[in-house]
Amino acid sequence: MAFRPIPWSTPASSGLKLLAAVTQPARPLNSLLDPTSAREAMERVSRNLARVVLGKPRQIQLAVSCLVARGHLLLEDVPGVGKTTLAEALARSCALSFARIQFTADLLPADILGAQIFHAGQSRFEFRPGPLFHQLVLADELNRAPPRTQSALLEAMSQGQVTVDGVTHPLPASFTVVATQNPSDFSGTYPLPDSQLDRFLMRLTLGHPSPKIEAELLRTRGAEDPLRGLASAITAEELLGLQKLAAAASVDESVAEYAVRLATATREHPDIDRGASTRAALSLVAAAKAHALWDSRDFVTPGDVKAALVPTLSHRMLLKSAVQGAYARDEAAHLLEEIARKVPAPR
């Protein structure tokens, strides 16, 4: 299926039709996915992403896992390292409708949620959905918008719906936010509140490419956008099947207790002021379920929990040190790796 974003630059009178089209239930899969075919589908998506995001196999794998786990993704890094490219490539690879919202200091909640428009011909108001009514939404430079606009995303990210003028409107079934964030020491940025950070299943950083990859980019990338010819690797219905299969993965009692011990260790660590919450522990297990599919498994192992530990918990902890930005991120990752080494895993 070719990538065709839904055209939202239409008259207000067609807003409800577009809203109904994008929120209708996905068609049932022709056949149920099994763990082996799920792994093959995820690998197809990863190979597709690797065509445009070079030299980042681990970050690509985690981004796909986040999408399969029905989670929102936060990409934190300096400008120009491929965050926007990764987000749009994810949408194209899974044949999802895509919208990019550039967050600025003057952006208002109505600019992203939509608004009631007066229809003169029928003397009534009609809801015109905003760009948030897409399957994958790129919230670009999220921390450049004021807190009031940032908070407009909370209901959408946590409940899959938005409320405008007292009326609740559902978002697409596979609604996902991929947000980019500049380091907090950049001018013109607002720190994301803890409540919003907690809605992101994972936080990733891409980093600069290796000198070899960067030289290849300079040599091969011309004026043409590498995303232009990127076709889909799976359909939106297949993605929904992957998400259902991951959610149904079994978690043994010993593995659940192991995840609880890891979360408890973050709450008791002397260098951590506020550790992982119960919601964070739930996110850890959800990410581990998606990670299990990479090994064609429908059950979670301690290795899956360890693999998901840093990207799911590092942005949810408050450290006692005064470091900020990338230093805080690196220190949180170091502390979590230390905890993973000390907390015994079940055999």
Let me know if residue 11 belongs to a domain.
no
Check whether residue 241 and residue 132 sit in a common domain. yes
Check whether residue 123 and residue 53 sit in a common domain. yes
Check whether residue 144 and residue 218 sit in a common domain. yes
Let me know if residue 14 belongs to a domain.
no
- pLDDT computed for residue 174 by the predictor: 85
b/e per residue 229-264 (b: at least 16 CB within 10 A): ebebbbbbbbbbbbbebbeebebeeebeebbeebbe
Let me know if residue 4 belongs to a domain.
no
| pTM for the whole structure | 0.85
Q: DSSP assignment of 308-326, as one string?
A: HHHHHHGGG-EESS---HH
Of 247, 265, 288, which residue is a domain's last?
247
> In DSSP terms, which residues pair with 101 in a beta bridge?
139
Quick check: 118 pLDDT over 50?
yes
Question: Residue 222 — pLDDT band, cuts 50, 70, 90?
Answer: low
- pLDDT computed for residue 186 by the predictor: 56
- pLDDT computed for residue 234 by the predictor: 96
Query: Of 74-78, 204-208, 246-250, 322-326, which has the strongest mean pLDDT?
Result: 246-250
Check whether residue 254 and residue 243 sit in a common domain. no
Mean pLDDT of the chain: 85
Contacting residues for 257 by C-beta, under 8 A, at least 6 apart: 346
- Tell which residue, 29, 189, 21, 183, has the closest CA to residue 105: 189
> In DSSP terms, which residues pair with 200 in a beta bridge?
72
Distance (Å, whole) CA 93 – CA 52: 11
Let me know if residue 34 belongs to a domain.
yes
- pLDDT computed for residue 281 by the predictor: 96
Let me know if residue 25 belongs to a domain.
no
- pLDDT computed for residue 22 by the predictor: 36
Compare 337 and 194 and report the one with higher pLDDT. 337
Provide the domain count of the chain.
2
Q: What is the mean pLDDT of residues 18-35?
A: 49
Check whether residue 215 and residue 331 sit in a common domain. no
Quick check: 2 pLDDT over 50?
no
- pLDDT computed for residue 185 by the predictor: 54
Q: What is the mean pLDDT of residues 61-66?
A: 97
Least confident of 6-10, 225-229, 245-249, 327-331: 6-10
Q: Give the tokens for residue 309.
A: 């530990």
Q: DSSP assignment of 15-56, as one string?
A: HHHHHHHHHSPPPPPSS---HHHHHHHHHHHHHHHHTTSTT-
Check whether residue 182 and residue 275 sit in a common domain. no
Q: Residue 158, exposed/middle/buried by CB under 10 A (0-12, 13-18, 19+)?
A: middle
Q: The domain spanning residue 179 has which CATH number?
A: 3.40.50.300
pLDDT digits (tens, 9 = 90+) for 284-321: 999 999 999 999 999 999 999 999 999 999 999 988 88
Distance (Å, whole) CA 31 – CA 241: 9
Quick check: 259 pLDDT over 80?
yes
Q: The domain spanning residue 316 has which CATH number?
A: 1.10.8.80
Tell me what percent of the residues of the chain surpass a pLDDT of 70. Answer: 86
Q: Assign 258 to helix, strand or coil.
A: helix
Q: What angle do CA 196, 325, 276 make, to 5 degrees?
A: 50
Check whether residue 103 and residue 42 sit in a common domain. yes
Let me know if residue 15 belongs to a domain.
no
b/e per residue 266-287 (b: at least 16 CB within 10 A): beebeebeebbbeebbebbbbb
Of 215, 247, 279, which residue is a domain's last?
247
Question: Residue 322 — pLDDT band, cuts 50, 70, 90?
Answer: low
Question: Residue 121 — pLDDT band, cuts 50, 70, 90?
Answer: confident
Distance (Å, whole) CA 266 – CA 275: 5
Segment (H or E) for 189: none
Quick check: 13 pLDDT over 60?
no
Let me know if residue 17 belongs to a domain.
no
Place of tokens 């010819």: 229
Handedness of CA 261, 265, 267, 268 (dihedral sign): positive
Let me know if residue 39 belongs to a domain.
yes
pLDDT digits (tens, 9 = 90+) for 126-157: 888 999 999 999 999 888 888 888 888 888 99
Check whether residue 256 and residue 239 sit in a common domain. no
Check whether residue 271 and residue 346 sit in a common domain. yes
- pLDDT computed for residue 18 by the predictor: 36
Of 247, 278, 296, which residue is a domain's last?
247
Check whether residue 281 and residue 311 sit in a common domain. yes
Domain residue limits at 95: 30-247
Check whether residue 43 and residue 172 sit in a common domain. yes
Distance (Å, whole) CA 254 – CA 346: 6
Check whether residue 202 and residue 315 sit in a common domain. no
Question: Residue 41 — pLDDT band, cuts 50, 70, 90?
Answer: very high
